[in-house]
Structure 1
């Protein structure tokens, strides 16, 4: 985080990124002196209510964050910023989004946790739009113009007031990650199995294991429970994915599967009535398959430099994730966030587990056609993963040291090369089918899982 003193002294001259969070009520004039270099401007966590017209002078500005401020209207000057691609105004008081506020190069728009009841038609006239995050607003509908958003891949509209799913939504050729829970859709969803309760006083708390958008995860010991558990304690507020209670309901509907990290118990008797889920503790050897998308990649995960997989490991991951997804779809659950960064894997034995149900949606059991058309969108997300796995398969060579991403098979180099080629061809063929621009022509998750069943090493 930078300081006003640094900015005013000229110490930040030539910077490409500026982060200021110091109770600002207006944008300092010195910011505009950075016009020839500034690409990322982060003004989150201030008390801003508007931007001056000089903002358009930042002709190289590509990314603007202004979350946790006091905006009531999305500033129209944003539309005058020629290079601006990513706009983030989470947790303000925005009730109005003028058409003029949408930059022509808009690629990623985050307006989570505001008070927006209507979006302008012009939103569908931004051809680069790829990621749209609108959870926690008051939307009763989406502009029909969005059916022209042919590049839209991720859409979060959880915790709004939508009364129906627009017919065009399931026809979007690239939509892959969708969150719909917490709307008044009138759906009849199958109830999940209830879980046993574990009371807060019966827990012995260990270290913090991690933090996600919706909660903190702690290692805990429970009275009368044979093994250590992971407690996900929900923050209780709307997240970029939706509401904690919808995540909990989806977890209950999902049930148990060896390739899912679903809960085994629910928290009771918390002193502040906070909600929580208790899950099996994943062995320490497991690692995340990838990192989340970056500002540059937008909707695609970021893998470590030099990332490689053996053919057997890649097929094993594909097998486990496809079977986990097939299980969810058969239970009427759309995961909504099928990404490599939500997959934990054992790099030695190749076992993979899909987790994080924050964006999950329970689908209606009484409208099979709608249910299948929504699930077809998520099959495209599976196709993206299969494509990434195929790209990572490389035949072992003496020049490449063994890393956690390699898996020894004890076979000859020729056999390894042949195995790798076959794995790549299989994954590529399945990926192509899943990535079809015609959602109705994609295979189901069950069909993909069946195809991989006979190929798992």
Structure 2
């Protein structure tokens, strides 16, 4: 993407650089000049190249905190990554990985992304990384996780969609900090079926012919697809066209199935119909078009915040508005639970609101999954209760004076004992009006 950066590196112009991005350059060999930045370099992005290995001296990058190596040809996660004692974020998505050596996992590991590889197992050492907070493993061949992860007290986000789990590890439902779980596309998922194996498993929906649509401006783009403004027989709508590629949350077709299975709710962006007849055979959904003034409640997590959303520092809320927001999003998630669905990504960055009065809708079902029945399904609901409790707390933090009863509810929802948390319907019933 930036050949000029590579030229500048080789000329020696980047002395003292803290960040270096050499993505998409087709590199087949590691530029040795990078090691000359050992005293300052904190972020290195080598994504989208054709590297098969990293040099034995890679550990000289003693200040390196973030490494992106996605889209290379490693095959095996480079063991030298573990020599970087400050390295806390590691991303090697789609790098044909079939093995993760224990020595490749740096001791300060906080955020690990190994989505869309060929991994059938992971080393026990993964459970020996006490700072681990975010673990993204969707799109592999895993049927188990290291037992040591049962003690991962700081793990908040776990993505294991589109793997081979016949049963969910029993300790997952007891992790004290876990709030966001993606597990669709595994044999252990609830009664919903996998649309890859049974196309008829996608719920029926009103067919919307491509010829009846007039696509308009691009409204937004995410990992799973692009959303356009459109007109359907003269009616303003939103059109989501799915890319069809594996995302960190899982498979786009699972998102489409969840949108259709979710049904209607005033605080949930639902589907009006399913696209048919696209000239490039793309799959898509027609959805309601929100008012133009509506906005995203917060930005997604940053490299620094890891698993927590980033709010506009100027955002201030009246307590009544904050509680209306929390109540609406909680009602949407409770509706999903009642339909046998787990949202999996209940975050402020997936909330759209009016920016004033607190009217809001929950969006993005890319991480949604069918809930298993019985006690396990209820336990997974209580995991999502923690996500809602964190959102409630973030909203209350932006109020000049937060009601004590609302703070008490927040505490009940985020407490480390999963079984002691209320279900969402119970929490909403006890949430004060303002």
Normalised by the length of structure 2, the TM-score is: 0.95
What residue is the counterpart of 1:216 in the other structure?
A: 226
Displacement of 1:3 = 2.0
Tell me if the contact between 1:135 and 1:158 (Cα under 8 Å) persists in the aligned partners. yes
Q: Does the alignment pair 1:392 with 2:398?
A: yes
Q: Secondary structure at the match of 2:397?
A: helix
For 1:99, the equivalent position in structure 2 comes to 102
- Look up the match of 2:409: 430
Q: Which runs of 5+ in 2 are unaligned?
A: 194-200
Deviation above 2 Å: which 4+ runs of structure 1? 186-194
- Report SS of the residue matched to 1:210: strand
* Pair 1:173 & 2:179 matched: no
8 Å contact from structure 1 (residues 333, 363) kept in 2: yes
Residue in 2 that maps onto 1:449: 428
> For residue 89 of structure 1, what is the aligned residue in structure 2?
92
Spell out the pairing of 1:22-421 with structure 2 (5 A cutoff).
22-185=25-188, 187-189=190-192, 194-223=204-233, 227-364=235-372, 367-394=373-400, 420-421=401-402
Q: Deviations over 1:8-54 (max 9, x none)?
A: 12221111100002111121111011111100000011111110011
SS of the residue aligned with 2:235?
A: coil
Deviation at 1:244, TM superposition (A): 1.1
CA contact (8 A) 1:386 1:431 kept: yes
Q: Secondary structure at the match of 2:34?
A: helix
Contact 1:192 1:255 in 2 (8 A): no
SS across alignment from 1:100: helix
TM (normalized to structure 1)? 0.90
Change (3 A) 1:445 1:192: farther
Q: Please tell me whether residue 20 in structure 1 is matched to residue 26 in structure 2.
A: no
Measured in 2, the distance between the counterparts of 1:81 and 1:67 equals 18
Note the alpha carbon deviations across 1:151-180, whole angstroms, 9 max, x for none: 110000001111111111101100100000
Q: 2:6 aligns with which of 4, 7, 10?
A: 4
Deviation at 1:213, TM superposition (A): 0.8
SS of 1:3 mapped into structure 2: helix
Between 226-235 and 211-220, the greater mean CA deviation after superposition:
226-235
Q: Secondary structure at the match of 2:387?
A: helix
Q: How far apart are 1:348 and its partner, in Å?
A: 2.4
How far has the Cα of 1:205 moved from its partner? 1.1
Does the CA-based 8 Å contact 1:121-1:145 persist in structure 2? yes
**Partner-residue secondary structure (3-state), 2:214:** strand
Q: Tell whether the 8 Å contact from 2:189 to 2:370 is kept in structure 1 after alignment.
A: no
**Cα offset, 1:360, TM superposition:** 0.5
Secondary structure at the counterpart of residue 239 of structure 2: strand
Cα distance in 1 for partners of 2:37, 2:407 equals 45
Structure 2 SS opposite 1:228? strand
- 2-structure distance, mates of 1:275, 1:36: 49
Distance 2:122 2:402 in 1: 48
Q: Is the 8 A contact 1:192 1:254 kept in 2?
A: no
Q: Is the 8 A contact 1:193 1:255 kept in 2?
A: no
Aligned residues of 1:322 and 1:449 also touching (Cα < 8 A) = yes
Q: Please, which runs of 5 or more residues in structure 1 have no aligned partner?
A: 395-419
- Offset of residue 433 of structure 1: 0.3
SS at match of 1:231: strand
CA distance 1:284–1:186, shift in 2 (3 Å) = closer
Instruction: Give the conservation status (yes or no) of the 8 Å contact 2:396–2:402.
Output: no
- Give the deviation of 1:187 after TM superposition: 3.6
* Distance of 2:320 and 2:105 partners within structure 1: 47
Distance 1:227 1:451 in 2: 39
Shift of 1:119: 0.6
User: Would you say the 8 A contact 2:215–2:239 is kept in 1?
Assistant: no
Give yes or no for contact 1:253–1:362 (8 Å, CA) kept in 2.
no
CA RMSD of aligned residues (A): 1.4
Kept in 1, the 8 Å contact 2:159–2:248? The answer is: yes
Q: 1:252 to 1:97 in 2, by over 3 A?
A: same
